[in-house]
Each structure stands twice: as structure tokens, then as C-alpha cells.
Copies of this chain bind each other. A is one copy, B any other.
Amino acid sequence: MKVDKISELTTNRLSIYLRCLNELAAEGAKSVSSDGLANRFHLNSAQIRKDLAYFGEFGVRGVGYDIADLREHITKILGLDKEHRVGIIGAGRLGAALADYYGFQRTNFKVAALFDADKDKIGQHFGEIEVFDIKDFSEVTKKANIDVAVIAVPAEYAQGVLELITDAGIKAIMNFAPTPLRVSGDVKLKTVDLTISLESLSYYLALPSNVNGAGLKPNSTNRRKK
């Protein structure tokens, strides 16, 4: 298996395939063809074949993919066969919303702790999740086995928080602060900039109406026609 050359776009697609396969498995299906998967979930069948061929021969011509087998493989490739524990820095509205984000239910990501510098917030709970003093970040992450950090602080504090996180040895970071951050070494930083997402919608609205649709490359996750 060539694990050393998957782009983030590919891992994103694998995440989607896995979700679709889970849905099919829940319905009792045992196998599915790339065309079947594409039609059912509005995906691109050629892309599916290309993505999956990359990881070896999963499909049987004329029969399709064995769903259980494929789920197991994708789960392993994505590292989803073990639990990840998440620490969220910033216990404001965004941090609190992320702490009980419904999308994380039934995933292997468990929010283990919130962190803040605000004395009024430290010691509070959001659901079952306690807010710790950001000063104790390194200690708490070690005790709670946190391996993923989420930055949910205003832009001006984000770089400082990032350095605190990497100093504590965390290698995987998701950043919601709308600012470019600099990381060094073997740390994976993923910035989710909601403004950029909104701006791509703005672009769409600004297109002359006759090129709407034709004007945008269909994207497997974002744009689907019935």
C-alpha cells in the first residue's frame, strides 16, 4: 500500500466514501459497484475507481467492492481504528459550539477538554467537558491523552496558542482563527477559514447568471445535482 503520497483532497474523498459505505452497511448491503456508489451518493464513479485503485485491488470486476473489507481498509488508512482525543483552546461561543458539535457524535473523536485564559470560564463545564486553565495545557493534555488540538481563539492570539500547543508535543492541529499561522517541523496544521468558504459563495453569486453552474467545476462534496 502506498501510504506516503495521499493528498488532502484524496483523504477528504476517502472520508466521504467511508460515510457512504457505513450507510450502505447499516442497510444490510454486502457489496457495491463504483457506479452504484456514485449514483446513490452523487459522486464521480471514475474518481472512486481511481482513488480506490490507488490502495490496491479492492473491487471485483462485475461484482463491485466488498463493503466490509473496504470499510476496514479506509478506516485503517485514515487512522480511524483508534480513538483521538481533542482539546479545544478557547471556551467562547465557537469553542463551546465545537465541544458539542453534533458531527463528532458517532466518530472516534472525543472532545476531552476545553482551555481558556479567562478566570470566569476556568472550572466551568460545557456538557461534561471541563474548561481548564490554558497555563496547565501541557499537563492536562498529557493526563487526558489529547493528541488533536483545535484553536478557537481570536486571530491575534492564534500564533501564540499554536506555539503553546506544539511545545506540548501535539502534532495535529485544526485552526479556526482567520489568519495564516506558521508551523515548523512535523506538525499538521489544518486551517478552517469560514470567510474563505463564504467568499467562494460570493464568487458564485457574482457570476453572470448564464454561466452559473457551468461556471464551477463540480466538486464531489459540495455540489450535487439530483
User: Which residues in A have some Cβ–Cβ distance to B below 8 Å?
Assistant: 3-8, 11-12, 14-16, 19-20, 41-42, 76-80, 84, 86, 92-94, 96-98, 100-104, 107-109, 147-148, 154-155, 171-174, 176-178, 180-184, 186, 188-209, 211-217, 219, 221-226
What B residues does A209 contact at CB under 8 A?
186
CA distance A118 to B102 in the complex (A): 18
* Contacting residues, chain B, for A11 (C-beta < 8 A): 199-200, 203
Compute how far the CA of A201 lies from the CA of B8 in the bound complex, rounded to whole angstroms.
9
- B192 close to A197 (CB less than 8 A): yes
Q: Give the copy number.
A: 2
Give the CA-CA distance A219 to B200 in the complex, in Å: 18
Given the contacts A84-B205, A180-B42, A215-B3, A102 and B186 also touching, CB distance less than 8 Å = no
Question: In the complex, A207 Cα to B11 Cα: how many Å?
Answer: 12
Whether the pair A7, B216 counts as a contact (CB closer than 8 A) is yes
Give the residues in chain B near A93, CB-CB below 8 Å.
93, 96-97, 100
A184 and B226 form a contact (CB under 8 A): yes
Q: What CA separation (Å) do A80 and B204 show in the bound complex?
A: 11
Q: Decide yes or no: A197 and B193 within 8 Å by CB, A3-B211, A202-B79 being known contacts.
A: no
Chain B residues with CB under 8 Å of A181's CB are 224
